[in-house]
C-alpha cells in the first residue's frame, strides 16, 4: 500500500476532537539536545513509541522521508507494563556521570526538589524544658554504655594489675563513681589549669576544692589508667582499627541518630580533635592550629535551635583501598548511619566532598544537595568562563544538576540539584546592596552547622592534650568529645529546652 494511503487511513481513524494519549512523563522526559546549544532551536521531548519497521507502521510522514522521524532505542522507551519508578531509575542510570547520556548544557537548569518527609524534633518522651542536665546527659551516655565501661574497666585491672603500689591498691569501680570521674573530666575543660595535678594542689593560686573533696588524685589516676570499653582477650575483627573503641562508638552513634531528628538543612564537614600520641588515626595537618589530631567526619543540623547538633560521626582511620573516594564514602556512611536518606533533606557540603558523581547518587536517594566544588573534579564542565567581577556562567544536566561559577573577589564554583542560575539582592554588613546568585546565598546559610558544633565544644575542651600511647588516653579523648557534643548540643534541640 502506498505511504500516503496509509497516512490518510490513519488520520481518518483518529478524530482531531478525540483526547490523545500523552507520551510525556513530565520532568522524566529525555530531551534531544544533541544539536548546538547556541542555535536557539526548540528542544522537543522524544516520543516513547518504538518504531521497529517503517514498512508495517501505522504512522506515516507527509514528507515521505523517514530520516525526519525521531527513533528511540528500547532502553529509553517506557514499556506498557513497566512501572514509572523503574523507568525513572533506568533513565537516571543512563544519564549518570560516565554514561553516554551525561552531558552539560548551556540551558537553564530544571531542578527537582524532593519533598521533606521527616518529622524534626526530640524522639524521647518526657524530655522538655524541665529536664535536668543529668537527664539530658543520660540520653547519650546510656546505662548500657556506663555498665559496659565499668565491667571492662574492672576486668582490665584483673588482667593487667599495675606495678606501682597505688595501682595495686585497687577497688572495683561502680557506675556512680564512673559518673563522678566523667564529671571531673568535663570540669577540667571548663576550669583549665597548667597541668592535671594542679587540680589537687593546696596552693591558693591553683586550689580547687571540688576535686580533692570529690575524688582523690590517686583514684583519679587509677581510673584513667584502667578505663576500658572492650575485653582485650576476646575475639576481634582483624580489619577494624578501632575495635577497642567500637562498642562505645556504636552506642553513641545509635543515640545521636535516635534521640533527635534534625530539621531539613544538614551539613557534612570534618573536625580535628587535638591529640598527639601513638594511635593509627592520628593525622598531621600543617595548616591547622592543632597540627596533630584525629580527623572526624560529622553530620550536623544546620538551622533552628538545633543548629550544631551532631547526628552522626565517623573517625578517620587512614587510607582505605576502595573504589569509592574517601570523600564520597564519608558522606554516604554518615547519611546512612543517621538514617536520613530518602527523606528530602537539604545536604550542604564543601569542595572536599562535592562532585557530580556524589550529587547524582544523592539525587537517586531523594536527597537535595548544594555545595562548593573543585573545577578539576571528574565529569565537571570544562568551558566555564567568568572574567569580570560579578559575572556568572552556568551549565545544567538533563537530570536537574546545576553547575554555576561566579566571580566575586575570587572565583566560586558550586553544584546544586535544587537551584536555577537566578540572582537575588542581598545587603552586606555595611548596608550596601549586592547582587549574588541565590545558590551562593543559600549555601552560606546552610554551612553553619558544623562550625557551630565546634564552637559549642571549645569551652569544655580538655586543656591537656594527650600524648601517651596507652589505651586509656584514647578512651578518655573520645569520651571527652562525645560527652561535650551530646549535652551541649541537646540544649539546642528544641525551643522548649533552651
CB atoms within 10 A of CB 326: 14
**Can you spell out the DSSP letters for 372-410?**
E--TTSTT--S-----STT-EEEEE-TTS-EEEEEESSS
Q: 137-148, pLDDT tens digit by residue?
A: 888 889 999 999
- Per-residue model confidence (pLDDT) at position 177: 96
Minimum mean pLDDT range among 332-346, 350-364, 466-480: 466-480
Average pLDDT, the chain: 77
Q: 391-407, pLDDT tens digit by residue?
A: 999 999 988 999 999 99
CB-based burial of residue 470 (10 Å sphere; 0-12 exposed, 13-18 middle, 19+ buried)? Answer: middle
Phi-psi region of 40 (alpha: psi -120 to 50; beta: other; left: phi over 0): left
Minimum mean pLDDT range among 139-143, 434-438, 477-481: 477-481
CA distance 335 to 340: 5
- Per-residue model confidence (pLDDT) at position 146: 93
Q: 7-19, pLDDT tens digit by residue?
A: 444 444 444 444 4
pLDDT exceeds cutoff 80 at 90: no
pLDDT exceeds cutoff 90 at 192: no
- Under DSSP, is residue 19 helix (H, G, I), strand (E, B) or coil? coil
* C-alpha cell recorded at residue 388: 569580570
pLDDT bin (cut points 50, 70, 90) of residue 450 is low
27 or 343: which leads in pLDDT: 343
pLDDT bin (cut points 50, 70, 90) of residue 277 is low
- Under DSSP, is residue 115 helix (H, G, I), strand (E, B) or coil? coil
Q: Which of 137, 139, 131 is nearest to 254 (CA)?
A: 139
For residues 402 and 419, the answer to whether their CB atoms sit within 8 Å is yes
For residues 261 and 119, the answer to whether their CB atoms sit within 8 Å is yes
- Which residues neighbour 348 within 8 Å (Cβ) at sequence distance 6 or greater? 265, 266, 267, 268, 302, 369, 370, 371, 443, 446, 447, 449
CA distance 285 to 291: 5
- Per-residue model confidence (pLDDT) at position 15: 45
Minimum mean pLDDT range among 40-44, 179-183, 322-326: 40-44
The percentage of residues in the chain with a pLDDT greater than 90, rounded to a whole number, is 38
277 or 204: which leads in pLDDT: 204
Q: 297-335, pLDDT tens digit by residue?
A: 999 999 888 888 889 999 888 777 778 888 999 999 999
The bridge status of strand 292-301 relative to strand 282-284 is antiparallel
CA distance 293 to 282: 5
pLDDT bin (cut points 50, 70, 90) of residue 485 is low
Minimum mean pLDDT range among 33-37, 237-241, 242-246: 33-37
Amino acid at each position: 500500500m502506498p505511504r500516503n494511503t496509509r497516512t490518510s487511513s490513519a488520520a481518518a481513524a483518529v478524530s482531531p476532537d478525540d483526547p490523545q494519549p500523552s507520551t510525556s512523563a513530565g520532568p522524566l522526559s529525555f530531551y534531544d539536545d544533541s544539536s548546538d546549544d547556541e542555535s536557539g532551536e526548540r528542544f522537543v521531548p522524544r516520543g516513547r513509541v518504538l518504531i521497529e519497521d517503517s514498512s508495517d507502521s501505522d504512522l506515516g510522514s507527509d514528507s515521505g522521508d523517514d530520516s525526519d522521524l525521531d527513533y528511540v532505542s528500547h532502553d529509553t522507551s517506557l514499556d506498557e507494563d513497566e512501572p514509572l519508578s523503574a523507568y525513572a531509575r533506568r533513565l537516571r542510570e543512563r544519564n549518570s556521570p560516565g554514561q553516554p547520556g551525561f552531558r552539560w548544557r548551556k540551558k537553564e537548569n530544571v531542578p527537582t526538589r524532593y519533598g521533606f518527609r521527616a518529622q524534626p524534633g526530640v524522639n524521647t518522651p518526657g524530655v522538655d524544658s524541665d529536664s535536668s542536665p543529668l537527664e539530658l546527659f543520660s540520653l547519650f551516655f546510656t546505662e548500657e554504655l556506663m555498665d559496659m565501661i565499668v565491667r571492662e574497666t574492672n576486668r582490665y585491672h584483673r588482667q593487667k594489675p599495675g606495678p606501682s603500689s597505688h595501682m595495686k591498691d585497687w577497688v572495683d569501680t561502680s557506675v556512680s563513681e564512673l559518673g563522678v570521674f566523667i564529671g571531673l573530666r568535663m570540669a577540667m575543660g571548663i576550669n583549665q589549669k597548667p597541668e592535671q595535678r594542679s587540680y589537687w594542689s593546696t596552693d591558693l593560686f591553683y586550689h580547687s576544692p571540688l576535686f580533692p573533696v570529690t575524688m582523690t588524685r590517686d583514684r583519679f589516676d587509677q581510673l584513667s589508667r584502667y578505663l576500658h570499653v572492650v575485653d582485650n582477650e576476646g575475639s576481634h575483627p582483624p580489619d577494624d582499627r578501632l575495635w577497642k573503641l567500637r562498642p562505645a562508638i556504636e552506642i553513641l552513634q545509635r543515640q545521636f541518630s535516635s534521640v533527635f531528628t534534625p530539621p531539613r538543612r544538614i551539613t557534612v564537614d570534618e573536625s580535628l580533635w587535638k591529640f598527639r600520641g601513638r594511635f593509627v588515626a592520628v593525622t598531621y595537618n600543617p595548616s591547622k592550629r592543632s597540627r596533630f589530631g584525629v580527623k572526624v567526619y560529622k553530620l550536623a543540623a544546620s538551622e533552628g535551635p538545633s543548629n550544631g547538633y551532631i547526628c552522626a560521626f565517623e573517625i578517620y582511620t587512614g587510607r582505605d583501598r576502595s573504589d569509592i573516594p574517601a570523600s564520597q564514602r564519608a558522606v554516604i556512611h554518615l547519611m546512612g548511619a543517621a538514617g536520613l536518606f530518602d527523606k528530602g533533606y537539604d545536604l550542604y557540603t564543601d569542595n572536599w566532598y562535592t562532585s557530580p558523581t556524589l550529587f547524582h547518587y544523592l539525587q537517586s536517594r531523594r536527597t537535595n544537595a548544594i555545595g562548593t566544588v573543585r573545577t578539576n573534579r571528574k565529569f565537571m564542565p570544562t568551558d566555564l568562563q567568568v572574567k569580570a567581577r560579578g559575572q556568572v556562567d552556568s551549565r545544567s544536566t538533563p537530570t536537574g544538576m546545576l553547575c554555576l561559577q561566579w566571580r566575586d573577589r575570587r572565583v566560586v564554583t558550586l553544584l546544586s540539584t535544587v537551584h536555577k542560575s537566578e540572582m537575588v539582592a542581598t545587603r552586606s554588613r555595611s548596608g550596601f546592596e549586592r547582587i549574588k546568585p541565590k545558590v551562593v546565598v543559600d549555601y552560606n546559610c546552610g554551612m553553619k552547622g558544623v562550625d557551630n558544633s565546634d564552637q559549642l565544644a571549645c569551652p569544655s575542651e580538655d586543656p591537656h592534650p594527650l600524648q601517651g600511647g596507652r589505651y586509656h588516653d584514647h578512651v578518655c579523648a573520645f569520651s571527652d568529645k562525645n560527652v561535650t557534643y551530646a549535652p551541649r548540643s541537646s540544649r539546642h534541640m528544641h525551643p522548649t529546652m533552651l
